[in-house]
Amino acid sequence: MVTLQGKSVAFLVAPEGTEQVELTAPWQAVQEAGGTPCLVSTRSGSIQAFNHLDRGDTFKVDAVVADVSVGDFDALVLPGGVANPDALRTDADAVAFTKSFFAAGKPVAAICHAPWTLIEADVVRGRNLTSWPSLRTDLLNAGAHWADEQVRVCTDGPNILVSSRKPDDLPAFNDTLVTVFATA
C-alpha cells in the first residue's frame, strides 16, 4: 500500500473560483494515504469553491502563501476551475511559491485549468502536460508538449509533474499523484 505518512502537501488556491471536486477529491486521497494536506491561499479566512458555475462550499484557509515556503511542504497540488488559476497567475507570491517547487525538485500535480499558473511561473517549457482542452494553445505557446490524455506524468528535470484534464479524470489523477508523492 502506498503511504504519504509524514508528508505535507500544499493545495494552492485563490480565495474564489476553485472547482470544488478538484480540491476535495485529491485532498481526500492525500489524507487516506496518511499525508497532511494544507490549504494555502493568497489571503487568510476561507475560500469559496464552485461546482462548475454554481457556488459550492467554503473551506478554511490553513496558511497564506506569503507566509509559507517550499521548505514547509513535500509536494504541491494545483486544483483547477477557470477562475482559480486565473487569479493565482496574477499574484506574485502564488507564482513564486509554485516556481519554488520546481527549483527545489519537489513534485507538483495540476488539473484542468491549473496549468495557467504553471505557465505564469515559466516552468512548462519542454515538459509533457495535459489540461482542459482550451489551454492547449497556451501550453504549446509556452513551450510545453501537450496531449489529450487522462493523466500525463513528466519526469523531465529534477522533479515530477503530474497533470490531468478534468474532474472525470480524478480517480486516475489521485492514484497517480499519491504514488508520485510517496516515491519523491
Give 116-142 pLDDT, tens digit per residue: 999 999 999 999 999 999 999 999 999
Q: How high is the pLDDT of residue 184?
A: 84
3-state secondary structure the chain: CCCCCCCEEEEEECCEEEEHHHHHHHHHHHHHCCCEEEEEECCCCEEEEEECCEEEEEEECCEEHHHCCHHHCCEEEECCCCHHHHHHCCCHHHHHHHHHHHHCCCCEEEECCCHHHHHHCCCCCCCEECCCHHHHHHHHHCCCEECCCCEEEECCCCCCEEEECCHHHHHHHHHHHHHHHHHC
Instruction: Evaluate if pTM is beyond 0.85.
Output: yes
Give the mean pLDDT of the chain. 96
Give 136-166 pLDDT, tens digit per residue: 999 999 999 999 999 999 987 778 999 999 9
- Report all structural domains of the chain as residue ranges with CATH numbers, in order of start: 8-183 (3.40.50.880)
Give 75-118 pLDDT, tens digit per residue: 999 999 999 999 999 999 999 999 999 999 999 999 999 999 99
Residue 16 has pLDDT above 90, yes or no: yes
Active centre residues (catalytic):
112-113
Residue 1 has pLDDT above 90, yes or no: no
